[in-house]
């Protein structure tokens, strides 16, 4: 395993500086990055009407989040809301979801976590409803390791402070979780890491569902999954940029 991690790290270090002749993306404000992230995750299947929320903590302690009234697939940079650590809106006429407490509690409990994402996704949501963790069957499903806890004590939506706190505490030091009969939760140090985790979770969930519908197969052994998983906390090289470019090609007004 150590040899594989060293090899992966060497590959990451070699390509991370971007030897190309032009920037992979135009300059992006923090709000533009959050709007792009919402669009990107929407296309990963994290798209349940206006449900779902993302928070991104900034260096000054303020937090960027999506407005309650708008769907992820329509967001622009100017729509992103700044809130303080207590959830009070600082610079927008939009509202924030009443369930924002879940995010604020996770940010408070885990200072290393700067990004929290929750939605009711297409594929991982199926496994959440089954109250099962999907097995890993291929390389792309193994990028973020094996452990995927299922939080089974569903007690309603997250407007209630005690309900959201119990879920935040149950997450522990995990990178993600399935919320039984509800949806999925992903946390990360930065947007790149969060994107990889969401994309991996949905791929893993989709492939596991397809395998089950086809009659089943032997999943990858845990030690194989851990050997394949990516050690780089910033995610797969160039993936975030590629998906961001795709969204900008579709609609450059995201940056407005």
Question: What's the chain's average pLDDT?
Answer: 89
Mean pLDDT of 46-66: 96
Please tell me the predicted confidence (pLDDT) of residue 169.
80
Please tell me the predicted confidence (pLDDT) of residue 171.
86
Mean pLDDT of 90-110: 93
Give the model's confidence band at 155: pLDDT under 50 very low, under 70 low, under 90 confident, else very high.
low
Please tell me the predicted confidence (pLDDT) of residue 236.
85
Position 244 pLDDT exceeds 90: yes
Please tell me the predicted confidence (pLDDT) of residue 26.
92
Which residues, in sequence order, are bridge partners of residue 55?
Answer: 65, 116
3-state secondary structure 75-130: CCHHHCEEECCCCCECCCCCCCCCCHHHHHHHHHHCCCCCEEEEECCCCHHHHHHH
Higher pLDDT residue, 53 or 152?
A: 53
* Helices 239-250 and 191-213, axial angle in degrees (round to 10): 90
Residue-wise pLDDT tens digits, 3-52: 444 444 454 454 455 555 667 899 999 999 999 999 999 999 999 999 99
Q: What is the pTM of this model?
A: 0.88
Please tell me the predicted confidence (pLDDT) of residue 6.
47
Q: CB under 8 Å to 13, separation ≥6 — which residues? A: none
CATH architecture, domain defined by 2-13+28-255: 3-Layer(aba) Sandwich (3.40)
């Amino acid at each position: 395993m150590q040899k594989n991690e060293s090899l992966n790290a060497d590959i990451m270090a070699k390509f991370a500086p971007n030897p190309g002749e032009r920037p992979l993306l135009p300059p992006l404000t923090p709000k533009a990055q959050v709007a792009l992230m919402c669009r990107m995750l929407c296309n990963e299947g994290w798209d349940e009407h206006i449900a779902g929320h993302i928070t991104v903590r900034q260096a000054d302690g303020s937090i960027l989040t999506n407005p309650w009234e708008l769907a992820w697939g329509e967001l622009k940079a100017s729509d992103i809301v700044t809130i303080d650590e207590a959830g009070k809106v600082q610079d927008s006429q939009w509202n924030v979801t009443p369930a924002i407490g879940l995010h604020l509690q996770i940010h408070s409990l885990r200072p290393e976590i700067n990004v929290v994402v929750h939605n009711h996704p297409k594929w991982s949501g199926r496994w959440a409803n089954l109250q099962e963790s999907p097995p890993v069957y291929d390389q792309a499903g193994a990028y973020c390791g094996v452990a995927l806890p299922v939080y089974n004590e569903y007690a309603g939506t997250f407007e209630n402070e005690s309900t959201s706190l119990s879920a935040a505490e149950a997450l522990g030091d995990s990178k993600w979780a399935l919320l039984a009969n509800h949806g999925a939760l992903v946390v990360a140090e930065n947007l790149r890491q969060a994107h990889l985790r969401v994309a991996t979770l949905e791929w893993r969930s989709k492939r596991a569902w397809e395998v089950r519908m086809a009659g089943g197969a032997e999943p990858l052994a845990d030690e194989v999954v851990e050997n394949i998983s990516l050690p780089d906390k910033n995610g797969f090289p160039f993936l975030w940029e590629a998906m961001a470019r795709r969204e900008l090609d579709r609609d450059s007004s995201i940056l407005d």
